[in-house]
Structure 1
Amino acid sequence: MKKIGLLLGMFFLLASNVMASNWKAGHVVMIAFDGWGAYSVPKAEIPNIRQLMSEGCYTLKKRSVLPSSSAINWASMFNGAGTEIHGYTEWNSQTPEIPSRVVNKHGVFPTIYSLLDEQCPLAETGCLAEWEGIKYLIDSLAVDYWGLSVNYEEQPQRLCEMAEEYIKSKKPIFVSICFDQLDHVGHADGHDTPSYYNKLNELDAYVGRIIKVLKEIGIYDDTVIIVTADHGGINKGHGGKTLQEMEVPFIISGKNIRSGGEFKESMMQFDTAATIAYALGLKQPQVWIGRPMVQVFENK
């Protein structure tokens, strides 16, 4: 029995070493803000995000897919494809309105979590969010940990606290942390308003806390950090075709990421999943149309 256990242990160690040889980093942490328009970045304080921008690469011109609303773009962010292929077409879609072009063993369109589940089954993965709608878009059967923070109006720090606890305890290979608060302020008080920037500054502080945890547990130097969004907004809404609604930031920093500043290449929402897959050495399915932003990596 001991010999079998030893052999299995050696097998998994060898397998993990082979996988790691293709990886650009041992961990990817994606922090995403619902309703964060790129137009706001030059006007906001956000010191922690600016530090990531100065140490890594970024664009303020990543475009959402249309319509520029939530479920559609969260799906594209995780699914590596656009509306016409994954089939989620409404702001609150829970199942595709158009049949997905391809489905996986769980009966859903393949997501970044699906790829990790199939290609690196031992990898710990998590998704934490303030909007329950996210869980319908990620292939929840492929995720090791799903955490929902409710009532964030009264407990705005709760999602950050949950993320800190989860990262400390599990050191996930990939985790996405999805904040809904900025979108809520955009709808209630308006985008590009003092309230909007106050909330954005609060969210920046949470980014700083998550970075601090990564350093405390000793994985910061082996981590790629992404900060991005699903869509922007104008006045008190979104879903339209203005650049205020469609252009969102994409910031990437950390292990094997160049200190290249702003990159000029075109980026779409579905390129996010492709870039995460590239960082973790995953093979994309043919149905994905996302392109990894290989230019931001030092060792391509």
Structure 2
Amino acid sequence: MKRLFIVCLFLIFAFQNEGITQVNKAKHVILIGFDGLGSYAIPKATMPNLNKLMESGSYSMEARTVLPSSSAVNWASMLMGAGPTAHGFTEWGSKTPEILSHEVTKYGIFPSIFSLIRDQIPIAKTAVIFTWEGIGYLVEQEAIDLVHNSESEELNIAKAIEVINKGETTFMFLHLSEPDGVGHNIGHDTPEYYKELETVDAKIGQLIDAISAAGKTDDTIILLSSDHGGVNKGHGGKSLDEIYIPWVISGPGVKVNHEIKDLIMTYDTGATIAWILGLDMPKSWRGKPVEDSFNSF
């Protein structure tokens, strides 16, 4: 009887931890950020690769930015697992915190997913590849193995594919500036904006194909999101077209063709990546893992 009891406990434990085992199969996490990609546009856009990514994983079109719904404050929140009153970056083009950060790492800014990885998994390799130079002020560059900045999205895609092919990087953040440029210069919700989304979708396809060609599909989690949407030629306001952003995740352990109903804030992205990688999160982080996107754990 005692032996049967022990076996039952073992089976219960194994069942409860099945999802964790699946998540831990992910050896690589890639965060793709498209600047200015508003959720409002996706149902009206021609984006077959994004649709396939959603069908193969979990998604929400009602994830929310922090306010203001603009760039630096939201990229910082996404990577730092907390909102602007904690990390201190509060404006579109923040280069240094306008509010005193609650805490700073040895790298001089509020803890991000990059310093968590460096401090807790020293052997892990990380990369940040970005188009908008403002990203460089929001990451702890000394904690990152590869920092690559180019105004050319084509060169950045090529560098990202190079990283994928090498297969050594645990976490990569790829920032791309479009469709934000079209949104500012011509306007959101315009024919030109939707045309640009076809180009955005082609880039998603390039990255998915590269992961497949490298034989990394079964151990790579892709997470795709944005910093804000837009109205007319601007953003930063409180409208849903500005604050609703896509949140899409696909890979081992992720539910298939699943719409996430839970509230997602952009700072939950950093928390979800930390959870996938088994990292302890700082007490100052306010994000929580989007556990509904994963199979039972």
Both structures adopt the same fold (TM-score exceeding 0.5): yes
**What is the alpha-carbon root mean square deviation over aligned residues?**
1.4
Pairing 1:97–2:94 present:
no
Task: Tell whether the 8 Å contact from 1:48 to 1:208 is kept in structure 2 after alignment.
Answer: yes
Number of the residue aligned with 1:190: 187
**8 Å CA contact 1:113, 1:138 repeated in 2:** yes
Aligned to 1:228: 225
1:172-251 equivalent positions in 2, closer than 5 A = 172-251=169-248
- Which 10-residue stretch deviates more, 141-150 or 112-121? 141-150
Q: Distance in 2 between matches of 1:110 and 1:70?
A: 19
Same amino acid, percent of matched pairs: 45
Of the three residues 228, 236, 250, the one matched with 1:253 is 250
Alignment pair present for 1:162 and 2:163: no
CA contact (8 A) 2:23 2:253 kept: no
Which residue of 2 is the match for residue 283 of structure 1?
280
Amino acid paired to 1:196: Y
Read off the aligned partner of 1:44 and give its amino acid letter: A
TM-score where L is the length of structure 1: 0.89
Q: Distance in 1 between matches of 2:109 and 2:49?
A: 36
Once residues 164 and 221 of structure 2 are traced to their aligned partners in structure 1, the CA distance between those partners, rounded to angstroms, is: 14
1:262 aligns with 2:248: no
Matches of 1:240 and 1:22 in 2, distance apart?
36
Does structure 2 conserve the Cα–Cα contact (< 8 Å) formed by 1:65 and 1:269?
A: yes
Separation of aligned partners in 1, 2:160 and 2:105 = 28
Partner letter of residue 282 of structure 2?
P
The 8 Å contact of residues 32 and 176 in structure 1, kept in 2 or not, is answered as yes
Structure 2 unaligned blocks of 5 or more: 1-20
Aligned to 1:137: 138
Query: 1:61–1:208: structure 2 CA closer, same or farther, 3 Å change rule?
Result: same
Contact 1:24 1:281 in 2 (8 A): no
Give the structure 1 partner of residue 9 of structure 2.
none
Q: Count the aligned residue pairs.
A: 277
- The separation in 2 between residues aligned to 1:260 and 1:83, in whole angstroms, is 32
Shift of 1:160: 1.2
Asked if the contact 2:258/2:293 (under 8 Å) is kept, the reply is: no
What's the secondary structure of 1:73's corresponding residue? helix
Verify the 8 A CA contact 2:22 2:253 in the aligned structure 1: no
TM-score norm. by structure 2 comes to 0.90
Maintained 8 Å contact 1:29/1:175: yes
Q: Spell out, residue by residue over 1:214-246, the C-alpha distance to the aligned partner (whole angstroms, 9 max, x if none).
A: 111121110111111011100000001101010
Structure 1 unaligned segments of length 5 or more: list them: 1-19
Moved over 3 A (4+): none
- What SS does structure 2 have at the residue aligned with 1:157? helix
Whole-angstrom distance in 1 between the partners of 2:216 and 2:58 = 20
